[in-house]
Structure 1
């Protein structure tokens, strides 16, 4: 049998698509669990500080102990624990934003907390980061070019013109600098390709 014939190639394409879909679903599930973990840790830190009157030193101590216990994990540094605490404090009363935070990567959440001043601005970037699968560098670029302000004044057309296939950048967006190597995900579209997509279609690069 000639396994290079068109029928086989079509079959192989279907199999590859099925595998990619399963990997993407797995990655989204991992990201959701990671965000939930960080939310829970932030909540626990806040509650224990209130309960026992612990100061900032508890985060330093906790970071050192967690890194000893989980030496292969990258997320338990002091600064990241500080972000977990802030993450919980920022969104504990915001029931609208809470479902959104688990749909984007942790680094995206940190960037949005750092750079966005209002609730409305944060929600805007959460929605669009998920919709278009922005990597963290693209997200930073959009914020620095004031995409939210331009959107409010109808000065941008990226939402209407960005090609749908770039929505599949989402697996890049949630990978960030966390290692999900066990999912063996390939980056089929690079961030450079995403940037080139803006230029080719004359899309406003906000």
Structure 2
């Protein structure tokens, strides 16, 4: 005895798919926000508690050791290079009250692209453009100083 599959109306199927996609996107955003917050907290803890007042050699050894242990337990996200990015992240954005709203708008990838920008005004420009949805992470990586310079030259003073 064969069971025939009922045809699902196109409009209904589209609505169901939209619900699934919306929920998936919401979950992905929440996971990214929580991971970014974890990275900020780790950077802050390392900066304040492990390295505070210690010699550079000692601090480097601690970060290396911490990275080995975390990587063994939790994977590549906790490499020494990434731990150092987390440390820079919390140093550049030391106030949780200021960085928390940004974490809801920007991905960890955005932050890793913003960390190397030394000029605070330029970094703030990119933060605002990303937060407004003008720059996706992939585009932000390609922008460089050229676009910021053009923006400054064309802006009214």
Smaller-chain TM-score bracket: 0.7 to 0.9
Aligned position for 2:7:
3
Normalising by structure 1, what TM-score? 0.62
Aligned position for 1:152:
152
Aligned position for 2:23:
22
Unaligned runs of 5+ in 1: 156-206
Q: Specify whether residues 29 and 90 from structure 1 end up closer, same or farther in structure 2 by C-alpha distance, changes over 3 A only.
A: same
For residues 9 and 147 of structure 1, what CA distance do their matches in structure 2 show?
44
Length, aligned pairs only: 148
Unaligned runs of 5+ in 2: none
Normalising by structure 2, what TM-score? 0.79
Matched residue of 2:69: which SS? helix
Deviations 1:24-77 (A, max 9, x none): 11111001100110011011101222176642111000000111122xx33100
Aligned position for 2:72:
68
- Greater percentage in helix: 2
Q: CA RMSD in A?
A: 2.6
The structure with more radius of gyration: 2
Given that residues 37 and 103 in structure 2 are in contact (C-alpha distance below 8 angstroms), is that contact kept between their aligned partners in structure 1? no
For residues 142 and 18 of structure 1, what CA distance do their matches in structure 2 show?
34
